[in-house]
Amino acid sequence: MTQINYMNRLRLDERELASRRAFFEITDEDLARLATLRAFGERHSTAIVDALYDLILGHPESRTFFTDERAVARVKKMQQQYFIGLFGGRLDLAYVEDRLRVGAAHERIGLAPKWYIGAYSRYLRLLHDRMFAEMSPADASAAFLSIKKLVAFDMALAIDTYNAANMDTVARHQAAIRELSTPVIRVHHRVLLLPLVGTVDSHRAEQIMETLLLKVVDEQARAVIVDIAGVAVVDTQVADHLLKTTEAVRLLGAETILTGISAQIARTIVQLGVDISTMHTRARLADGIELALGIVGRVIVAKEA
């Protein structure tokens, strides 16, 4: 599975970063304040992360994401680094890239937003309690407000990566569906067959042409048989699409043979006035195959009895 470059996908450049910082109201003061609390953070990181995982491992559903002890130990360590990062005092692209990695890791193991938002919520509660225990109410209040803003910022990134990954999956599925609806078969060395079935609208016609052209180059095909016996309706538009596809295939340096032309289709095409005389056409697929083989210098011969 290819890695998505989230920085690119989310268009996370300086401008976007500045926009998010402004919207989440994270000021330089907030960052400075959190930086002064680094020691506090380091002191409590182990306890807080442990408490966080008590919640995760204590809940039947979320527990299933963390099966063995070593995985838990590894994840706790990563989580501690994440936690300390909140007190880093900086909010630049490097910070963002770091946070995106966390989101990506969550997405990879299939951890849905509800789990990590719930976890963030516990983080905040744990921090709140400790801050108010250790600092004056005024200081604790200010510190908690600052950290809430930063956590919200991080949460947005985590959700964004989750979404981006999902959309990517959808896109891949769509590509797969497209492939399946344009099954190009290699009938012989350098001879391809594309049996068209169903309706061919403009959208599908475009995809068919593109898939076919790519396959022609891939296979260095010299002949392409397009069988339209299974096409529901052959009207002027469909005929036009077929003509265009034939022309494009010719530009690549290959020839197209149209087969499956029934009496009905032949009648329709001539009556519509569409000129496909420049194309090789046959009624039967078998004849088209023979013609195609001839183009690559092959002949079908009967075996000696």
| Residue 200, helix vs strand vs coil | coil
Contacts of other proteins in 28-57 (CB under 8 A): none
The nearest distance, CB 104 to other proteins, in angstroms, is 18
Identify which range of 40-48, 136-144, 243-251, 261-269 contacts other proteins by CB under 8 A.
243-251
Half-sphere exposure of 139 (CA within 13 A, CB side): 12
Considering the rule CB under 8 A, would residue 164 count as an interface residue with other proteins? no
Considering the rule CB under 8 A, would residue 210 count as an interface residue with other proteins? yes
| Alpha carbon distances (Å) from 40 to 33, 247, 305 | 12, 72, 93
How many whole angstroms separate alpha carbon 57 and alpha carbon 191?
58
Judged by CB, which is closer to other proteins: 109, or 167?
167
CA 8 to chain centre: 13
Number of helices (H), then strands (E), belonging to the chain: the values are 13, 5
Considering the rule CB under 8 A, would residue 184 count as an interface residue with other proteins? no
In sequence order, the β-bridge partners of residue 295 are none
The nearest distance, CB 182 to other proteins, in angstroms, is 13
- Please select the residue that binds other proteins; options are 128, 250, 280, 298, rule is CB under 8 A: 250
Tokens of residue 110, six digits:
């299939």
User: What's the maximum distance between 2 C-alpha atoms anywhere in the chain?
Assistant: 103
Considering the rule CB under 8 A, would residue 252 count as an interface residue with other proteins? yes
- Please select the residue that binds other proteins; options are 71, 78, 84, 214, rule is CB under 8 A: 214
The nearest distance, CB 5 to other proteins, in angstroms, is 11
Considering the rule CB under 8 A, would residue 248 count as an interface residue with other proteins? yes
How many whole angstroms separate alpha carbon 260 and alpha carbon 206?
21
The nearest distance, CB 280 to other proteins, in angstroms, is 16
Do 127 and 147 form a contact (C-beta atoms < 8 A)? yes
CA 71 to chain centre: 27
- Enumerate binding residues for other proteins (CB under 8 A): 8, 11, 167, 170, 174, 203, 206, 209-210, 213-214, 216-217, 220, 222, 244-245, 247-254
